């Protein structure tokens, strides 16, 4: 056997890195879904040790030397390998900018804060979370400063770039400003345009039946349960690793739609994860193209597809059969009205697609102020409530319906929200491209045939892994750079048409 080239040795190092990071992902899933209450400290030690190992691989002199030597011989590499090398370098550069001790402390602090968030949320008591959030905040601030300095980015951009490589506040801000100008009137008009409140049938919908139905729909969409799981958890998320993708959801016995659409959201992520290129497994180029691309997938399934007339036409009889119900309320027209109802509400994950962007943008504003130290953790609940009131003219009745609704900040996930907003815009743009490529899309959805839809996404998005940049991938899939125009066209036709 000839000796391995520097590039091949790098592949080996990153395979090891991926296995350890995968182990950490599984343990994070477990922490959210399975872990007993008082085990957070032990788990924190495990995650910290894994993070330290992963960090140690990235910053090792060996990897530095191999990257240098592989760079010098890059002309002999295939395109995807050169992209892999670029992603390796990106990951290494970030790691070098962050001291291992800071990573370990952040892993421990956020494991603790996540467990406390669950408690705080269930007790509706922000004070349970506050000191832990404070600790996470301080560590995130340190990290963003260090990474930003090393990569020549503003601290907040250092975090956004971590979520979605290449995205910058300077590109996001103009999109947000134009949306912020249009949204109040759009929401107002959409609320006026919609028919009188459709009556929601009262009743109880067995959680185990909801679960079965969700699994049935996941199967129809092509989610491979022999390579994944579906469980209940406090907050819906998709975790695990390629080859073992784990969806979680929360069901509400009084509402058969809320949990189901959360599942559709997660299915968007999970199909992306399961569709990533097998041949590049364990390599940086084999990963997804960041949070904004992921949110594009989830938003496409949950909102653009999931709340469309043809999809609901397929869904309605499933619901009627599943819950043994009938009547006008369970006809697709009434269901679609419920599912596309615009409403100034308090909870982001329950929001319609218009107010959703308001929710996300207010979080962006708050997290930037938190990071800059302009807003103290102690003052966050009041600032939250004030923002909600200013933007939506309603006020959270308590912190559970306010600042405690999302886990992101507790686990140190700053920079996620702007990517989530871009994902919403991307979903509309992907949908336009999909309709051009698949003239029978609507008939397929009505018939519950998702092969062509998911096949198109596999070819245009999933299979590219991280080979192209976000911008390149958007252009190659949709023919143009990301803009707000398709989304505005889409909501105009859907809500005001």
The stretches of 152-193 forming alpha helices (DSSP H) are 155-163, 169-193
Judged by CB under 8 A, the residue of 168, 227, 338, 343 near its own copies is 227
| In contact, 235 and 32? CB cutoff 8 Å | yes
Dmax (CA) for the chain in angstroms is 74
Residue with tokens 């952040």: 106
Q: Which is nearer to its own copies, 123 or 347 (CB)?
A: 123
Judged by CB under 8 A, the residue of 4, 8, 12, 41 near its own copies is 41
Per CB under 8 A, which region of 148-156, 218-226, 314-322, 470-478 contacts its own copies?
A: 218-226
**For 228, which DSSP code?**
E
Q: Binding of its own copies at residue 3 (CB under 8 A)?
A: no
3-state SS, residue 342: coil
Residue with tokens 């958890």: 233
Q: Binding of its own copies at residue 45 (CB under 8 A)?
A: yes
Output the CA torsion 269→272→275→278 (10° steps): -90
Residue with tokens 């007790």: 123
How far apart, in Å, do the first and last CA atoms of the chain sit?
66
Contact map string, positions 276 to 305, toward its own copies, x by CB under 8 A? ------x-----------------------
Q: Binding of its own copies at residue 30 (CB under 8 A)?
A: yes
**How far is residue 91 CA from its own chain's centroid?**
20
Nearest distance from C-beta of residue 16 to its own copies, angstroms: 5
Residue 266 a catalytic site member: yes
Beta 237-241 vs 228-232: how paired, if at all?
A: unpaired
CA-wise closest residue to 159 among 412, 470, 425, 474: 412
Instruction: Count the site residues for its own copies by CB under 8 A.
Output: 38
Q: Which is nearer to its own copies, 54 or 424 (CB)?
A: 54
Nearest distance from C-beta of residue 468 to its own copies, angstroms: 25
Dihedral of CA 447/451/453/454: which sign?
A: positive
Judged by CB under 8 A, the residue of 52, 60, 233, 337 near its own copies is 52
Judged by CB under 8 A, the residue of 39, 97, 349, 488 near its own copies is 39
Please report, for residues 112, 248, 457, the alpha-carbon distance to residue 237 in angstroms, rounded to integers and kept in the order given: 18, 5, 21
Per CB under 8 A, which region of 4-12, 15-23, 352-360, 395-403 contacts its own copies?
A: 15-23
Q: Which is nearer to its own copies, 127 or 225 (CB)?
A: 225
Nearest distance from C-beta of residue 275 to its own copies, angstroms: 15
Nearest distance from C-beta of residue 227 to its own copies, angstroms: 5
Q: Binding of its own copies at residue 398 (CB under 8 A)?
A: no
Judged by CB under 8 A, the residue of 5, 6, 9, 16 near its own copies is 16
Catalytic residue among 266, 295, 353, 432: 266
Nearest distance from C-beta of residue 240 to its own copies, angstroms: 8
Q: Binding of its own copies at residue 9 (CB under 8 A)?
A: no
| In contact, 3 and 201? CB cutoff 8 Å | no
Q: Which is nearer to its own copies, 119 or 328 (CB)?
A: 119
Q: Binding of its own copies at residue 50 (CB under 8 A)?
A: yes
φ/ψ (deg, to 5) at 230:
-140, 120
Structure tokens at 182: 């249009």
CA-wise closest residue to 9 among 75, 88, 106: 88
Structure tokens at 250: 């929360």
Other beta carbons within 10 Å of 374? 10
Q: Which is nearer to its own copies, 42 or 197 (CB)?
A: 42
**How far is residue 315 CA from its own chain's centroid?**
24
Total number of residues shown for the chain: 497
Judged by CB under 8 A, the residue of 4, 12, 15, 317 near its own copies is 15
φ/ψ (deg, to 5) at 268:
-60, -45
Q: Binding of its own copies at residue 123 (CB under 8 A)?
A: no
CA-wise closest residue to 349 among 398, 405, 396: 405
Q: Binding of its own copies at residue 225 (CB under 8 A)?
A: yes
Judged by CB under 8 A, the residue of 38, 324, 390, 497 near its own copies is 38
CA-wise closest residue to 251 among 326, 329, 353, 322: 322
Judged by CB under 8 A, the residue of 3, 61, 208, 226 near its own copies is 226
Contact map string, positions 238 to 257, toward its own copies, x by CB under 8 A? ---xxxx-------------
Catalytic residues: 266
Binding site for its own copies (CB under 8 A): 15-16, 18-20, 22-24, 26-27, 30, 34-39, 41-43, 45-46, 48-50, 52-53, 224-229, 241-244, 282
């Amino acid at each position: 056997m000839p000796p391995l080239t520097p590039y091949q040795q790098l592949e080996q190092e990153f395979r090891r890195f991926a296995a350890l990071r995968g182990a950490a992902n599984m343990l994070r899933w477990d922490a959210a879904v399975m872990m007993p209450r008082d085990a957070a400290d032990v788990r924190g030690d495990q995650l910290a040790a894994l993070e330290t190992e992963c960090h140690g691989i990235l910053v090792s002199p060996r990897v530095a030397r191999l990257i240098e030597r592989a760079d010098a011989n890059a002309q002999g590499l295939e395109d995807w390998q050169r992209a892999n090398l670029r992603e390796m370098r990106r990951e290494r550069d970030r790691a070098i900018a962050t001291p291992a001790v800071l990573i370990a402390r952040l892993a421990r602090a956020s494991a603790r804060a996540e467990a406390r968030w669950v408690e705080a949320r269930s007790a509706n008591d922000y004070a349970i979370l506050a000191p832990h959030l404070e600790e996470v905040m301080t560590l995130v601030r340190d990290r963003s400063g260090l990474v930003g300095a090393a990569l020549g980015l503003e601290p907040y951009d250092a975090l956004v770039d971590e979520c979605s490589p290449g995205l910058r506040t300077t590109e996001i801000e103009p999109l947000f400003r134009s949306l912020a100008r249009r949204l109040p009137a759009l929401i107002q008009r959409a609320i006026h345009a919609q028919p009188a409140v459709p009556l929601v049938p009262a009743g109880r919908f067995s959680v185990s039946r909801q679960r079965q139905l969700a699994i049935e729909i996941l199967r129809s969409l092509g989610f491979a349960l022999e390579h994944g799981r579906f469980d209940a958890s406090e907050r819906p998320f998709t975790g695990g690793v390629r080859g073992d993708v784990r969806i979680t959801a929360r069901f509400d016995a009084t509402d058969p739609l809320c949990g189901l659409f959360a599942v559709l959201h997660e299915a968007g992520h999970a199909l992306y994860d399961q569709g990533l290129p097998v041949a590049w497994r364990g390599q940086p180029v084999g990963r997804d193209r960041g949070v904004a691309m992921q949110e594009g997938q989830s938003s496409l399934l949950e909102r653009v597809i999931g709340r469309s007339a043809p999809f609901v036409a397929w869904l309605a009889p499933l619901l009627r059969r599943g819950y043994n119900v009938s009547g006008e309320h369970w006809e697709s027209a009434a269901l679609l009205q419920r599912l596309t109802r615009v409403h100034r509400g308090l909870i982001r994950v329950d929001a319609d697609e218009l107010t959703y962007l308001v929710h996300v943008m207010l979080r962006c504003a708050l997290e930037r102020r938190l990071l800059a130290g302009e807003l103290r953790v102690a003052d966050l609940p009041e600032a939250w409530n004030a923002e909600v009131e200013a933007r939506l003219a309603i006020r959270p009745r308590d912190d559970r319906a306010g600042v405690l609704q999302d886990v992101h900040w507790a686990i140190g996930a700053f920079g996620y929200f702007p990517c989530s907003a871009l994902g919403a815009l991307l979903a509309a743009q992907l949908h336009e491209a999909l309709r051009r490529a698949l003239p029978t899309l609507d008939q397929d959805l009505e018939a519950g045939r998702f092969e062509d839809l998911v096949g198109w996404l596999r070819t245009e998005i999933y299979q590219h892994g991280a080979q192209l940049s976000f911008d390149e991938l958007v252009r190659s899939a949709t023919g143009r750079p990301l803009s707000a125009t398709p989304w505005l066209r889409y909501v105009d036709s859907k809500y005001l048409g």
